[in-house]
Amino acid sequence: MAQTKPIGEGVRVLDLGMFWAGPTCTSLLADAGMEVIKIEACRHPDPDRITPQGLAYVNNDPGQDPWNRGLVALRRHRNKLGCTLDLTTPEGRDLFIKLVRISDVVVENFRLGVMERWGLGYSALQRENSQIIMVSVSSSGNTGPEREYGSNAPIVACLGGLLSITGYTDEASLFVDITTPDPLAGTLAAGLVMAGLRYRKHTGKGLNIVLSQRELVTNIIGEFIMDYFMNQRIAGPSGNRHPYMAPHGCYPCKDEDSWITLAIRNNEEWLRFCQVLGVPELASDPRFADGVARWHHQDDLDSIIASLSRSYPPHELMGRLQREGIAAGVVQTARDVVNDPHLASRGFWETVSHPRFGPHAFKGRGFYFSKSPVGTRSPAPCLGEHNSYVFGELLGLSPEEIARLEEKAVIGTVPSLEVRGRIPSLRSGVNP
Amino acid sequence: MFYALSGVRVLEVGEHISAPFCTKFLAGLGAEVIKVERPGQGDSARREGPFPNDEPHPEKSGLFLYLNTGKKSITLNLEAREGKKIFLDLLRKADIIVENLGAGVFDGLGLSYPHLERINPQLVMTSISPWGQTGPYRDYQAEDITIQAMSGAMYQQGNPEREPVKSGGSISHYRVGASAFAATLMALHHAENTGEGQFVEVSSMEVSVHDDFFSVELYMARKVITTRQKAVLMLPCKDGWVYFRVFPHEWPRFEKLLGFDIEQDERFVTMEQRRLHAQELEALVLPHVRERSKEETYHWAQAAKVTAGYVANVQDVVESQQYRSRRYFVSIDHPIAGNLAYPGTPVEMGDIPWRHSRAPLLGEHNAQIFGGLLRYTREDLVRLRQTRVI
CATH at B291: 3.30.1540.10
Q: Could you tell me if B318 and A228 are in contact, meaning their C-beta atoms sit under 8 angstroms apart?
A: yes
| A175 and A102 housed in the same domain | yes
C-alpha pair distances (Å), A282 with each of A92, A271, A272, A275, A308: 71, 9, 11, 9, 12
| A333 and A421 housed in the same domain | no
Instruction: Answer whether residue A337 shows pLDDT above 90.
Output: yes
B167 located within any domain? yes
Q: What is the pLDDT of residue B273?
A: 81
Neighbour tally for A114: CB within 10 Å = 15
| B170 and B104 housed in the same domain | yes
C-alpha span between B12 and B101 (Å, rounded): 10
Indicate the residue of B170, B183, B243 with minimum beta-carbon distance to A367: B183
C-alpha span between B166 and A158 (Å, rounded): 15
Residues on chain B touching A325 (C-beta within 8 angstroms): 141
In tens, the pLDDT along B182-195 reads: 999 999 999 999 99
In tens, the pLDDT along A36-83 reads: 999 999 999 999 998 888 889 999 999 999 999 999 999 999 999 999
Q: Could you tell me if A208 and A201 are in contact, meaning their C-beta atoms sit under 8 angstroms apart?
A: no
Q: For residue A411, give the nearest of A48, A92, A17 by alpha carbon.
A: A92
Q: Could you tell me if A209 and A133 are in contact, meaning their C-beta atoms sit under 8 angstroms apart?
A: yes
| A95 and A41 housed in the same domain | yes
pLDDT, mean of residues A150-175: 93
A226 located within any domain? no
C-alpha span between A208 and A218 (Å, rounded): 22
Max Cα distance, chain A (Å): 85
Packing angle of the helix pair A21-31, A181-203 (nearest 10 deg): 50
On the question of a cis peptide bond just before residue A247, with omega within 30 degrees of 0, the verdict is yes
Contact state of A366 with B326 under an 8 Å Cβ cutoff: no
Domain that holds residue B255: 234-313
Domain that holds residue A97: 12-219+348-426
Contact state of B342 with A152 under an 8 Å Cβ cutoff: no
Contact state of A365 with B207 under an 8 Å Cβ cutoff: yes
Residues on chain B touching A215 (C-beta within 8 angstroms): 323, 326, 328, 343-346
Question: Phi/psi class of residue B302: alpha, beta or left (left: φ > 0; alpha: ψ in -120 to 50)?
Answer: alpha
Smallest Cα distance from B238 to chain A, Å: 14
Indicate the residue of A183, A226, A248 with minimum beta-carbon distance to B145: A248
Q: Could you tell me if A160 and A181 are in contact, meaning their C-beta atoms sit under 8 angstroms apart?
A: yes
Torsions phi, psi of B202, nearest 5?
-130, 130
| B241 and B174 housed in the same domain | no
Please tell me which residue of chain B has the smallest CA distance to A145: B322
| B197 and B67 housed in the same domain | yes
Return the beta strands (E) in B95-136 as ranges: 96-99, 124-129
| A59 and A177 housed in the same domain | yes
Partner A, chain B 343-372, Cβ-Cβ below 8 Å:
343-350, 352
| A65 and A195 housed in the same domain | yes
Please tell me which residue of chain A has the smallest CA distance to B322: A144
What is the end-to-end Cα distance of chain B in Å, rounded?
Answer: 33
**Domain edge (last residue) among A303, A338, A373:** A338
Partner A, chain B 14-53, Cβ-Cβ below 8 Å:
21, 25, 29, 48-53
In tens, the pLDDT along A303-333 reads: 999 999 999 999 999 999 999 999 999 999 9
Where does residue A413 rank: exposed (0-12), middle (13-18), buried (19+ CB within 10 A)? middle
C-alpha pair distances (Å), A329 with each of A168, A333, B132, B179, B226: 19, 12, 16, 22, 19
A431 located within any domain? no
Residues on chain A touching B166 (C-beta within 8 angstroms): 166, 240, 250, 261
Q: What is the pLDDT of residue A1?
A: 45
| pTM of this prediction exceeds 0.95 | yes
| B162 and B271 housed in the same domain | no
In tens, the pLDDT along A370-380 reads: 999 898 889 99
Q: Could you tell me if A278 and B161 are in contact, meaning their C-beta atoms sit under 8 angstroms apart?
A: no
Smallest Cα distance from A400 to chain B, Å: 35
A225 located within any domain? no
For residue B18, which amino acid is it? S
C-alpha span between B137 and A323 (Å, rounded): 10
Pairing mode, strands A367-369 and B198-203 = antiparallel
- DSSP label at residue A371: S
| B57 and B191 housed in the same domain | yes
| B184 and B282 housed in the same domain | no
B365 located within any domain? yes
Contact state of B202 with A257 under an 8 Å Cβ cutoff: no
Smallest Cα distance from A370 to chain B, Å: 5
Please tell me which residue of chain A has the smallest CA distance to B158: A175
Contact state of A338 with B219 under an 8 Å Cβ cutoff: yes
Q: In what order do the strands lie in the sheet with A105-108?
A: A80-84, A35-40, A12-15, A105-108, A133-138, A207-212, B347-349
Count of structural domains, chain B: 2
Specify the 3-state DSSP secondary structure of A77.
coil
Residues on chain A touching B346 (C-beta within 8 angstroms): 141, 188, 211-216, 218-219
Contact state of A223 with B62 under an 8 Å Cβ cutoff: yes
On the question of a cis peptide bond just before residue B335, with omega within 30 degrees of 0, the verdict is no
Return the beta strands (E) in B89-195 as ranges: 96-99, 124-129
| B299 and B379 housed in the same domain | no
C-alpha pair distances (Å), A152 with each of A177, A266, A413: 11, 40, 27
In tens, the pLDDT along B22-54 reads: 999 999 999 999 999 999 999 999 999 899 999
| A84 and A212 housed in the same domain | yes
Q: Pick the catalytic residue: A15, A182, A290, A300?
A: A182
Q: What is the pLDDT of residue A267?
A: 96
- DSSP label at residue B266: G
C-alpha span between A284 and A286 (Å, rounded): 6
| B43 and B177 housed in the same domain | yes
C-alpha span between A326 and A270 (Å, rounded): 9
B346 located within any domain? no
C-alpha span between A380 and B310 (Å, rounded): 36
A233 located within any domain? no
Please tell me which residue of chain A has the smallest CA distance to B212: A179
Please tell me which residue of chain A has the smallest CA distance to B244: A155
Q: How confident is the model at residue A431 (pLDDT cuts 50, 70, 90)?
A: very low
C-alpha span between B99 and B56 (Å, rounded): 25
Partner A, chain B 83-112, Cβ-Cβ below 8 Å:
none
Neighbour tally for B334: CB within 10 Å = 18
Mutation for testing the B interface, residue in A164, A265, A352 having most B CBs under 10 Å: A164
Where does residue B136 rank: exposed (0-12), middle (13-18), buried (19+ CB within 10 A)? middle
Q: Does B267 touch chain A (CB under 8 A)?
A: no
C-alpha span between A333 and A324 (Å, rounded): 24
**Domain edge (last residue) among A338, A371, A399:** A338
Q: How confident is the model at residue A428 (pLDDT cuts 50, 70, 90)?
A: low
C-alpha span between A71 and A106 (Å, rounded): 25
Q: What is the pLDDT of residue B220?
A: 97
**Domain edge (last residue) among B298, B313, B328:** B313
Q: What is the pLDDT of residue A45?
A: 96
Question: Phi/psi class of residue A169: alpha, beta or left (left: φ > 0; alpha: ψ in -120 to 50)?
Answer: alpha
Question: The domain that contains A382 carries what CATH number?
Answer: 3.40.50.10540
Question: Phi/psi class of residue A151: alpha, beta or left (left: φ > 0; alpha: ψ in -120 to 50)?
Answer: beta
Indicate the residue of B166, B212, B314 with minimum beta-carbon distance to A235: B314
Instruction: Answer whether residue A422 shows pLDDT above 50.
Output: yes
B344 located within any domain? no
C-alpha pair distances (Å), A50 with each of A55, A63, A67, A420, A426: 10, 13, 6, 7, 10
Partner A, chain B 304-333, Cβ-Cβ below 8 Å:
305-318, 320-323, 325-326, 328-329
Return the beta strands (E) in A4-116 as ranges: 12-15, 35-40, 80-84, 105-108
| A52 and A135 housed in the same domain | yes
Q: What is the pLDDT of residue B260?
A: 76
Count of structural domains, chain A: 2
> Does the annotation count A227 as an active-site position?
no
A343 located within any domain? no
Q: Could you tell me if A158 and B310 are in contact, meaning their C-beta atoms sit under 8 angstroms apart?
A: yes
A3 located within any domain? no
A198 located within any domain? yes
In tens, the pLDDT along B100-127 reads: 999 999 999 999 999 999 999 999 999 9
Please tell me which residue of chain B has the smallest CA distance to A24: B211
C-alpha span between A306 and A260 (Å, rounded): 10
Cβ neighbours of residue B66 under 8 Å, at least 6 residues apart?
Answer: A222, A223, A225, A226, B342, B343, B359
B352 located within any domain? no
| B80 and B149 housed in the same domain | yes
| B175 and B259 housed in the same domain | no
Neighbour tally for A289: CB within 10 Å = 14
B217 located within any domain? no
B229 located within any domain? no
**What percent of chain B lies above the pLDDT cut of 90?**
86
- DSSP label at residue A293: H
Indicate the residue of B2, B155, B181 with minimum beta-carbon distance to A203: B2
| A286 and A371 housed in the same domain | no
**Domain edge (last residue) among B296, B313, B330:** B313
**What percent of chain A lies above the pLDDT cut of 90?**
89
Q: Does B155 touch chain A (CB under 8 A)?
A: yes
Q: What is the pLDDT of residue B269?
A: 72
Q: How open is the CA angle B207-A154-A382, to the nearest 5 degrees? A: 65
Question: The domain that contains B63 carries what CATH number?
Answer: 3.40.50.10540
Q: How confident is the model at residue B251 (pLDDT cuts 50, 70, 90)?
A: confident
Q: How open is the CA angle A220-A7-B125, to the nearest 5 degrees? A: 55
| B192 and B240 housed in the same domain | no
C-alpha span between B142 and A263 (Å, rounded): 8
| A42 and A164 housed in the same domain | yes
Q: Could you tell me if B72 and B35 are in contact, meaning their C-beta atoms sit under 8 angstroms apart?
A: yes
A240 located within any domain? no
In tens, the pLDDT along B285-341 reads: 999 999 999 999 999 999 999 999 999 999 999 999 999 999 999 999 999 999 999
Smallest Cα distance from B167 to chain A, Å: 5
Packing angle of the helix pair B171-194, A181-203 (nearest 10 deg): 30
| A252 and A272 housed in the same domain | yes
What is the pLDDT of chain B when averaged over all its residues? 95
Question: The domain that contains A331 carries what CATH number?
Answer: 3.30.1540.10
C-alpha span between A82 and A96 (Å, rounded): 14
| B122 and B13 housed in the same domain | yes
**Domain edge (last residue) among A286, A304, A338:** A338
| A367 and A321 housed in the same domain | no
C-alpha span between B390 and B383 (Å, rounded): 9
What is the pLDDT of chain A when averaged over all its residues? 95
pLDDT, mean of residues B262-282: 79
Q: Does B180 touch chain A (CB under 8 A)?
A: yes
Q: In what order do the strands lie in the sheet with A248-252?
A: A248-252, A259-263, A327-330
Of residues A426 and A193, more confidence is placed in A193
Q: Does B123 touch chain A (CB under 8 A)?
A: no
For residue B20, which amino acid is it? P
Neighbour tally for A268: CB within 10 Å = 12
Q: Could you tell me if A364 and A350 are in contact, meaning their C-beta atoms sit under 8 angstroms apart?
A: yes
| A298 and A152 housed in the same domain | no
Indicate the residue of A8, A162, A219 with minimum beta-carbon distance to B346: A219
Contact state of A166 with B308 under an 8 Å Cβ cutoff: no
Neighbour tally for B187: CB within 10 Å = 30
In tens, the pLDDT along B68-91 reads: 999 999 999 999 999 999 999 999
Specify the 3-state DSSP secondary structure of A423.
coil
C-alpha pair distances (Å), B68 with each of A215, B46, B177, B390: 18, 10, 13, 20
C-alpha span between B83 and B376 (Å, rounded): 13
B332 located within any domain? no
Instruction: Answer whether residue A430 shows pLDDT above 60.
Output: no
**Domain edge (last residue) among B295, B313, B331:** B313
